Amino acid sequence: MKLSERIQQETRQQREFLLSAPIIQRALTGSISREEYLAFLTQAYHHVRHTVPLMMAVGSRLKGRHAWLQGPILHYLEEEAGHDRWILEDIRVAGGDPEAAASSPPDLATEAMVAFAYDMVMRVNPVGFFGMVHVLEGTSAALATRAADAIRTSLGLPVSAFTYLSSHGKLDQEHVHHLADILDRLDVAEDQEAVLRCARGIFWLYGNLFRGLERMDLRQCA
């Protein structure tokens, strides 16, 4: 079975944990507050700003059998650069304080997710990082554009307050097919298991990130 098929089947339970987060379900119907949207953007900033450094770390640690991944990594780097700045601008347009968001400490679930990704790349197996790509891009492709439209309509915010969600949703639909091609070329068992382990962990940690938004003091995000 291809890895792109295995990852869909073998992470189903963890994916359902993520997607069942109450705030995700409410976002799809536009039933979240501006403060909740700002809280989401703040946590998104805290993990998205690590995307390029993580990819650079992956590229620097590729083994000989992974030399073919240098091209795809460079492509991802070019497309992901600057997305953290998109988020800060969305925060500003939505009425938040981008400087305060950038200087705030990340929620523990966000910090744990980033740390898990770095540990996978630096200690376990750098190609395991594509498990994180599967989670974030697959979730974004499936939900981001729908959620952006629903939240914008509900809150009456301008389109320019949803650059990250809207652009990422469209971009990640293209990336999902590209990622499948990468996964299906990983034919060594230890690489496949690293990708699967990373995907399971990120689904669980990302699900806790969204659940953590329900517990935050949202006054500090306004």
CATH code of the domain containing 44: 1.20.910.10
Query: Which ranges of the chain have pLDDT less than 70?
Result: 168-175, 216-222
Range of the domain at 93: 3-215
**What pLDDT was estimated at residue 193?**
97
Determine, yes or no, domain membership for 74.
Answer: yes
Domains contained in the chain, number:
1
Please check whether residue 51 lies inside any domain of the structure: yes
* Report field, pTM of the whole predicted structure over 0.85: yes
**Cα(7)–Cα(128) distance, rounded to whole angstroms?**
12
Q: Token pair for residue 214?
A: 């329900």
Structural contact between residues 101 and 42, judged by C-beta atoms closer than 8 angstroms: yes
Q: Whose CA is closest to 168, among 118, 206, 133?
A: 133
Q: How far is CA 188 from CA 81, 93, 119, 155, 193, in A?
A: 30, 46, 20, 48, 9
User: Could you tell me the two tokens for 185?
Assistant: 């070329």
CA distances from 57 to 27, 79, 90, 159, 199 (A): 33, 16, 28, 34, 18
Question: Is 202 within the bounds of a domain?
Answer: yes
Looking at residue 173, its pLDDT comes to: 58
Q: Are residues 170 and 86 in contact, defined by beta-carbon separation less than 8 angstroms?
A: no
Which amino acid would we find at residue 80? E
Say which residues have a Cβ less than 8 Å from residue 182's Cβ, sequence separation at least 6.
69, 72, 130
Position 207 in a domain: yes
CA angle 125, 131, 132 (to 5 degrees): 105
| Residue 9 structure tokens | 């089947």
CA 178, distance to chain mean position in Å, is 16
How far apart are the C-alpha atoms of 159 and 164, rounded to whole Å? 11
Q: In this predicted structure, what is the pLDDT of residue 218?
A: 53
In a domain, residue 221? The reply is no
- Identify whether 186 is part of a domain: yes
